[in-house]
């Protein structure tokens, strides 16, 4: 897990690239490197977090033996050992890294190498001979890649938005993106970011740049790969194939030369992950387990996590977040996110990664992705999702608090419907446009904030493709969601399958914002109004809605956190463009 940066064209300066590398140092504190093309047609930078092959042989940028191709790479190629064996007849490897295997794979197969990779990645390869750039992002966008093309055709790329701003790009808010967020609650559903001129290369895409010309290509679409037809095999056959892939996915993601831990909650997905860890390492596994809690029994899943671990050798590290630390923690997390993030659950998770790093655990696995695969959200059963917030009856946003000018910029988002049935279309939307992209952005930034690597074994493309091929009665049966997964999990580790009651929230965000954090929240909202009251917001409406919320008139705090997020950004003088 690392940070990458690059500038390509004719009118840039090396000091721009150096600033890009410097501001991403938290992504890779173990080393950094810069490559400059002899003719200054390209420059690439890298921040290294040592995970595999901790020697200096793994430093980047990395060249092939002929010196033609230069690679910077963020992520992990989990099946690098298998690919290395396949390539050894043609390449003499100098390191034990997955980076060198990726470079060799590109030399052998070109763009087709992407389909052979099992991993999370964003990488860029500069062809010094032809003066061409190739850059790609993994199937679901676990690892980020942002870019900006100047009017003159120069291209800048980076792992984080702040690196592009550090290179000199003006900080100007993209009003359409902000309107979509404030009116509809949408983020990360397209390539546009919250900043003018900065785009996110979508998951499953690659880009090519040559002599000022940029082209974006789709290389992976989960609907195309899974196919439109349902799986006609027996449940037993499907379950066995899924179990084999699950075991392989977890096994591959334990490949590391630094300590690995697991993140747990009180749910079915965590029980499944724990059972798979035991299947791989044995029942006496002592991998450290991490969870977060708030001290509020209405939301905390700590009792269920403890029950899950009662008969195991895992040391449980429970990371508590308190209301008192939210203001400083929110400012820190916001500075790493560059865009609005998901509220107190994200802050609590950020604390967890910091705790893991302090204990020397550099790699962590979690259970992201099962709800999308096996229809775990409540709206999958009803066939429609009308809110970005689960478990609430009231609307999550407050467009009536916005000016008509801003509201007029909001776009209608109509997701693709590649399948004949509505359930799979909802799953596809959540995987490609809504749930997964948003969660992955939040999680990448908070893990890298503490220089730790987060791995998502349930986001293995083989698992998602297989799950999407299953008919609805294998996902929801007799009112029970994730039916086939529950059946499988009980066979994996029946003694560990405990599940906390289904909850709409993981933290007491609603209570804290109208309680101990009220003064702080008011200050953030007023900061927002001081900058955008009148142009984006109707200040009187916002203050009235906030007073009503504090009086207990709302069942969700989504819109309040939107306003707070803007205040946090203002405090960093970001939206103001200073």
Residues annotated as part of the active site? 2
| Nearest Cα to Cα of residue 9 among 151, 171, 106 | 151
d(CA 444, CA 85): 30
What order do you get walking across the sheet with 119-127 strand by strand?
A: 62-63, 69-77, 119-127, 132-137, 205-210, 213-218
Three-class SS state of 294: coil
Angle, vertex CA 157, rays to CA 128 and CA 52, nearest 5: 80
506-523 as b/e, with b when 16 or more CB fall inside 10 Å? bbbbbbbbbeebeebbbe
* Dihedral pair phi/psi, residue 429, rounded to 5°: -60, -45
Beta strand 132-137 pairing with 146-149: unpaired
Mention every residue, 6+ apart, whose C-beta is less than 8 A from residue 328. Answer: none
Side-chain-side CA neighbours of residue 381 (13 Å): 11
159-187 as b/e, with b when 16 or more CB fall inside 10 Å? bbbbbbbbbebebebbbbbbbbbbbbbbb
| Nearest Cα to Cα of residue 547 among 398, 346, 329 | 398
Three-class SS state of 416: coil
Tokens of 525: 């909202």
- The runs of H, that is alpha helices, within 362-434 are 370-374, 378-382, 404-407, 422-432
Work out the widest C-alpha separation in the chain, in whole angstroms.
71
Name the one residue in this structure whose structure tokens are 């204990």.
Answer: 359
Mention every residue, 6+ apart, whose C-beta is less than 8 A from residue 382. Answer: none
DSSP letter assigned to residue 314: P
Contact between 174 and 195 under an 8 Å Cβ cutoff? The reply is yes
In DSSP terms, 207 is beta-bridged to 135, 216
d(CA 562, CA 521): 11
């Amino acid at each position: 897990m690392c940070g990458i940066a690059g500038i390509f064209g004719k009118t840039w300066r090396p000091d721009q690239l150096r600033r890009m590398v410097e501001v991403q140092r938290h992504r890779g504190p173990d080393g950094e490197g810069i490559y400059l093309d002899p003719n200054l047609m390209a420059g690439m930078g890298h921040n290294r977090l040592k995970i595999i092959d901790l020697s200096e042989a793994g430093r980047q940028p990395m060249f092939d033996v002929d010196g033609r191709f230069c690679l910077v790479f963020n992520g992990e190629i989990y099946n690098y050992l298998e690919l290395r064996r396949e390539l050894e007849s043609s390449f003499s490897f100098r390191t034990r890294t997955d980076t060198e295997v990726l470079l060799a794979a590109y030399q052998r197969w070109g763009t087709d190498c992407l389909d052979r990779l099992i991993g999370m990645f964003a990488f860029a390869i500069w062809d010094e001979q032809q003066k061409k750039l190739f850059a790609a992002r993994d199937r679901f966008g676990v690892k980020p890649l942002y870019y900006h093309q100047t009017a003159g055709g120069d291209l800048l790329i980076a792992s984080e938005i702040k690196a592009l701003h550090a290179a000199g790009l003006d900080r100007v808010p993209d009003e359409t993106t902000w309107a979509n967020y404030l009116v509809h609650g949408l983020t990360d559903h397209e390539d546009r970011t919250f900043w003018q001129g900065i785009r996110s290369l979508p998951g499953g895409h690659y880009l090519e740049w040559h002599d000022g010309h940029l082209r974006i290509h789709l290389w992976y679409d989960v609907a195309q790969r899974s196919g439109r037809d349902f799986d006609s095999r027996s449940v037993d056959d499907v379950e066995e194939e899924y179990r084999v892939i699950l075991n392989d996915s977890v096994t591959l993601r334990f490949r590391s030369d630094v300590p690995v831990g697991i993140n747990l909650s009180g749910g079915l997905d965590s029980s499944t992950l724990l059972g798979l860890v035991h299947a791989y390492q044995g029942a006496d596994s002592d991998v450290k387990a991490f969870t977060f809690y708030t001290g509020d029994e209405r939301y905390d899943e700590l009792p269920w996590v403890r029950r899950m671990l009662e008969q195991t050798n895992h040391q449980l590290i429970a990371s508590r977040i308190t209301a008192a630390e939210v203001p400083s923690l929110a400012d820190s997390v916001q500075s790493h996110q560059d865009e609005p993030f998901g509220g107190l659950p994200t802050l609590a998770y950020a604390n967890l990664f910091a705790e893991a790093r302090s204990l020397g655990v550099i790699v962590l696995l979690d259970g992201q992705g099962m709800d999308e695969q096996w229809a775990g959200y409540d709206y999958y059963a009803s066939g429609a999702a009308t809110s970005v917030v689960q478990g609430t009856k009231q609307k999550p946003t407050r467009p009536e608090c916005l000016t008509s000018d801003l509201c007029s910029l909001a776009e209608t988002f109509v997701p693709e419907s590649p399948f004949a049935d509505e359930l799979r279309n909802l799953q596809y939307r959540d995987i490609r446009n809504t749930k997964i992209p948003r969660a992955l952005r939040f999680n990448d930034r908070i893990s890298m904030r503490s220089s730790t690597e987060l791995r998502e074994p349930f986001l293995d493309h083989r698992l998602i493709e297989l799950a999407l091929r299953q008919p609805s009665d294998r996902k929801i049966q007799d009112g029970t969601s994730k039916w086939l997964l529950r059946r499988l999990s009980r066979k994996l580790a029946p003694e560990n399958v405990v599940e906390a009651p289904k909850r709409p929230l993981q933290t007491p965000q609603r209570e804290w914002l109208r309680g101990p954090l009220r003064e702080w929240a008011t200050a953030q909202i007023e900061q927002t109004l001081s900058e955008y009251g009148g142009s984006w917001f109707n200040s009187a409406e916002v203050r009235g809605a906030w007073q009503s919320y504090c009086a207990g008139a709302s069942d969700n705090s989504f819109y309040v956190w939107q306003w707070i997020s803007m205040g946090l950004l203002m405090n960093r003088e970001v939206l103001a463009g200073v």
